[in-house]
Structure 1
Amino acid sequence: MEIPAINLKAIVLVHWLLTVWGSMAFLPRSYAWGNFSVLALGVWAIAHRDSIDAVVMFLMGTVGTILTDIVHIGIYYPTRDLVILDVLRFSAGMAILNLLLKPASCFFVYQMYKERGGDYNVNFGKWFPTVSRTRDDYQSIDQQDQESARPANPFNQAQDKPARAY
């Protein structure tokens, strides 16, 4: 099954809009600061299309804001016999929707990371996930092939054939 291509601009735009709406009423300033900082990393990843660092920083920041959003919404959600105003209800709904969309965004950003050349693979072992780098394609510097023992021919011409005269 083919994974649909989601544009990084669309991901950043949707999370920016939901963060703006989510921080309208009941959440503290730290919610807005954390999410807008991560969105700035997303803008950096958009601006530098070949940068692996920008995408991995945006990915790790998004994972971090998943945890902080759970804490912010859990602590600051109005619960006691308060009449929930429409603005509070809308703001809470947008913050929760933003939180629910972040794991899917992380998945798509991880796919972009792999497309840009990132090579970290997450291996979910029996108990804990481990991160490993595969180095199967690398050759050792210590070992020399028989082909490299011959002198290099910089013009890729055959040694036995004379050059053509024009």
Structure 2
Amino acid sequence: MNYMFPGSYAWGNFSVLAVGIWAIVQRDSLDAIMMFLTGLLLTVLTDIIHISVFYPSNNHLTDVKRFSIGMAIFSLLLKPVSCYLVYRMYQERGGEYTFNIGVACARRDRSTYEPIDQQDAPPQWPDSSKTAQQPY
């Protein structure tokens, strides 16, 4: 049988599909959803390469090849929407991705910071050496 795309196209997309099923089943895992998002982004790039390299000339287009190319392009067009939805799932699960290029340094807001070893605070328990001894 004459296939349109090489096996790497199918292996890449099916492995990302398997990671996506894992990410949906395991709702508390941020790693699974991040791997799924990374896989989707990588398959966008590899799908563009596969479609551009393996696109046949016009005189060799059959109906089956035309349909498979159309479905591959349709899948490629839907992947950015899928990436956005997966990123929203990542945020809902508590993931936080901040893009930092190193120009601005991260600073902590210390206005609500309460140190546990305050030197100025009065001791919580009375000092037993300074208390007067009770007469018997």
* Structure 1 residue 25, shift from structure 2 partner: 3.8
The runs of at least 4 aligned residues of structure 1 exceeding 6 Å deviation read: 137-141
Question: Where do 5+ consecutive residues of structure 1 fail to align?
Answer: 1-23, 124-129, 152-166
Deviations 1:64-105 (Å, cap 9, x if unpaired)? Answer: 0000000000000102x4241110010000000000110111
Partner of 2:116: 144
Partner of 1:64: 42
* Structure 1 residue 137, shift from structure 2 partner: 7.1
Q: Which amino acid counterpart does residue 70 of structure 1 have in structure 2?
A: I
Over the residues paired in the alignment, what is the CA RMSD in angstroms?
3.0
- Aligned partners of 2:9, 2:90: CA distance in 1, in Å? 26
Residue aligned with 2:83, SS: helix
Q: Which amino acid counterpart does residue 54 of structure 1 have in structure 2?
A: A
Quickly say closer, same or farther: Cα 1:86–1:51, change in 2 above 3 A. Answer: same
- Aligned partners of 2:40, 2:117: CA distance in 1, in Å? 46
Superposition map of 1:14-33 within 5 A: 25-33=3-11
Deviations 1:20-75 (Å, cap 9, x if unpaired)? Answer: xxxx9411100000011111110110110111111000000000000000000000
- Aligned partners of 1:59, 1:137: CA distance in 2, in Å? 31
Residue aligned with 2:98, SS: strand
Question: Where do 5+ consecutive residues of structure 2 fail to align?
Answer: 126-136
Quickly say closer, same or farther: Cα 1:48–1:93, change in 2 above 3 A. Answer: same
Partner residue of 1:120 out of 94, 97, 122: 97
Are 1:38 and 1:62, in contact at CA under 8 Å, matched by a contact in 2? yes
The alignment's TM-score, normalised by the length of structure 2, stands at 0.74
- Aligned partners of 2:84, 2:107: CA distance in 1, in Å? 24
Superposition map of 1:89-108 within 5 A: 89-108=66-85
Quickly say closer, same or farther: Cα 1:58–1:83, change in 2 above 3 A. Answer: same
Are 1:34 and 1:65, in contact at CA under 8 Å, matched by a contact in 2? yes
Q: Which amino acid counterpart does residue 83 of structure 2 have in structure 1?
A: C
* Structure 1 residue 121, shift from structure 2 partner: 2.7
Partner of 2:22: 44
Q: Which has the higher strand share?
A: 1
Residue aligned with 2:31, SS: helix
Residue aligned with 1:121, SS: coil
The alignment's TM-score, normalised by the length of structure 1, stands at 0.61
* Structure 1 residue 135, shift from structure 2 partner: 7.3
* Structure 1 residue 122, shift from structure 2 partner: 3.9
